[in-house]
Chains A and B, each alone.
Chain A
Amino acid sequence: DQQVKQNSPSLSVQEGRISILNCDYTNSMFDYFLWYKKYPAEGPTFLISISSIKDKNEDGRFTVFLNKSAKHLSLHIVPSQPGDSAVYFCAASARTGANNLFFGTGTRLTVIP
């Protein structure tokens, strides 16, 4: 049973515009959320995270928004650049007890020059 879902397998955006990647989760015990970025033939790299005590976290061009009541988070990239083209994985963790992250299926972002 997929506890973290990314319903859009792919997204194409023009360079300079905003990219919005969405993620939904089902487990209310999740209290820490992360986004990873993955290029082909490389391992995922950490991009940005958010704790459940916040509803927004910003790092340069990347902002993650968390809506706990809707069990939804999103990653905004603005402005999008061609180098942002990659697969983005959403992940969720419960701080107590769990020793692993639950990953979504990923969204392939293509930024068109």
Chain B
Amino acid sequence: DVKVTQSSRYLVKRTGEKVFLECVQDMDHENMFWYRQDPGLGLRLIYFSYDVKMKEKGDIPEGYSVSREKKERFSLILESASTNQTSMYLCASKIVSGANYGYTFGSGTRLTVV
């Protein structure tokens, strides 16, 4: 069965800390995504990646960066965490070809910045 694994379910970090959120998929998918979910705002795309070392900004990239050194791993980095980055972070992956254009999501990381 297809799997997207996010390394942490819950994280509490202090303002100004550098935060790494890790995501690993075991499906050999080309595309990977990072979203955040906030009440009333739905899922907003932060960054996505077409392939290794490739990345594209999504709708809300400010304050974030990403790294994709290996096909199976896509990391989201908060360079200096702020309280407005408290949110649920969701990683997803997708195969490029095929009839189903749906994504497979991880279980999410609930990040609280204090």
Contact = CB atoms under 8 A, between A and B. Distances in A.
Interface string A72-113: 000000000000000001010101000111011110000000
A41 B9 contact: yes
Given A42-B107, A43-B4, A106 B101 contact: no
Which of A9, A95, A103: most chain B Cβ within 10 A?
A103
B50 interface: yes
Contacts of A42: 107-108
Nearest to A45: B105
Q: Looking at chain B, what size class is its interface with the partner chain?
A: 20 to 34
A32 interface: yes
Interface in A15-46: 32, 34, 36, 38, 41-46
Contacts of A38: 37
B89 to A, nearest CB: 10
Interface of A: 6, 9, 32, 34, 36, 38, 41-46, 49, 89, 91, 93, 95, 99-101, 103-106
Q: Across chains A and B, which 6 residue pairs bring their CB atoms closest together, nearest first? A: A43-B105, A105-B42, A103-B43, A46-B102, A93-B101, A43-B107
